[in-house]
Each structure stands twice: as structure tokens, then as C-alpha cells.
Amino acid sequence: MNHHKHYQSIENRTKDGKTFLIEGPVEKKVIEESEFDEGLVAFRPPDQQRKALLKVADLDESRIIIVKEANKIVGYAIYLYPDPLERWSEVNLDNLLELGAIEVSANYRGYQLAKTLLKVSMMDDAMEDYIIITTEYYWHWDLRGTGLSIWEYRDIMEKVMKTGGLEWYATDDPEICSHPANCLMARIGKRVGPDAVHEFNRIRFKHKYMF
């Protein structure tokens, strides 16, 4: 599959005088030439997360959307093929991508940047060729930093994902089923064929016919 990527961007000016550029998919060079905010610590220390982004940027299928204030990256969203250890990689679909990570620096919360990252992600018409999935596990959520309960965080997370057109999908995946707050969300592009949708449904319910 040819992974066509068409750059999109939105500039947001806030009431308190900040200006954010939300752009992507960006090339590796943009990440190399940008600073990385110290509040980006959800997955690993900022310098290590920056290195991880640079590795992802080398993958043909990857799509990286970023939020910048001046020359500083304060948020990002990453789309790439599912982890080889996850069930979602078991289907032979070159048009199934996972929202592998979305993070906004704790120093920049309250600006609706996660929603805008998803909005810019889906502005590229090429996304209509893909099935986009995200697997949400409550143990990855920043409950302590936000002060939210599991269900309050889940509600906000769902609203953010819906900004990008992702909807809740049922599955029998054991990890997702291990807690009622966990969930699978997905967006099926307008040009995705019925065979691909069938394969996606098949992998969602691996044990459907086991009695």
C-alpha cells in the first residue's frame, strides 16, 4: 500500500496570548529541529520519548501529528501499525493503523489540544483509506495528575476520540475485557472495502464461534 500523507495544519491563538501550531503528518526533520517540552512524561522521560518519535518517523506507514508553541513540541499523536505482540497485528491488513500514543504536556492542559490533534489527523483525505483503532486501558491514564476518577477520565477520553470520528466497538480481547473501563475505539474510513471490514470484525471476536 502506498501510504500517501498530505500535510495539514491549524493555528490556534488562545485568550491568554499563546499561539499553537497543530500540524502533520510531519517529517523526521521537523522533530529533529524542535525542542521537546519537559511536561511530556506520560510514557517515558522527554528525551527518550523524543528518540522514540524519531524512530517512529522512519516507518513508512507512520503518521505523526504535533502541537508546537514556537519551536517547542508540547503534544503529539502517533499512528502506526499495531504492535506485533497484539492481536490487531494478526490480520493481514496494510490499511489498519493504531493510534499508538496521544499526549499533551501537563504544562499545557486546558487548551483542547488533544481534540485538535485528532481533528488535524483526520483532515487528510488519505485517512478515508484506513481503519484507525485505539485500545484504551485505564492503567495508562493519568488519574493522579488529573484528579479524575476512572469513569470521569473514560468519559473525557471518549469525547476526545469522537472528535476524530472514533467510536466504541465491542471485542472479546482479554486485556480489554479485564476491566469495564477499558475499550476498543475505531474509525473506518469511507473508502475501506468490505473485505477489510470483515477481517477487522473477525479479529475483534476471535472466540465468536467457540462453544
Q: pLDDT tens across 22-79, in order? A: 999 999 999 999 999 999 988 888 899 999 999 999 999 999 999 999 999 999 999 9
Beta strands 8-13; 35-36: pairing state: unpaired
Residue 77 domain-assigned? Answer: yes
135: domain range? 8-204
Angle at 120 between CA 85 and CA 33, to 5 degrees: 80
Instruction: Name the domain count of the chain.
Output: 1
Place of cell 465491542: 170
| CATH number of the domain that residue 136 is part of | 3.40.630.30
Q: Which pTM does this prediction carry?
A: 0.93
Helix, coil or strand: residue 138: helix
209, part of any domain: no
What is the C-alpha separation between 37 and 103, in angstroms, rounded?
11
Answer yes or no: is 3 within a domain.
Answer: no
Q: Is residue 1 part of a domain?
A: no
Tell me the three cell numbers of residue 44: 517515558
pLDDT > 70: what percent of the chain?
A: 98
Contact present, 133 and 96 (Cβ < 8 Å): yes
pLDDT, mean of residues 90-104: 93
> For residue range 163-180, what is the model confidence (pLDDT) as tens digits?
999 999 999 999 999 999
- Is 168 a member of any domain? yes
Q: Where are the beta strands (DSSP E) in the chain?
A: 8-13, 19-24, 35-36, 63-69, 72-80, 96-104, 131-136, 167-169, 183-188
Kindly state whether residue 162 falls inside one of the protein's structural domains. yes
d(CA 69, CA 26): 15
Burial class (CB in 10 A: 0-12, 13-18, 19+), 1: exposed
In a domain, 131, yes or no: yes
In a domain, 211, yes or no: no
Asked if the model's pLDDT at residue 110 lies above 70, the reply is yes
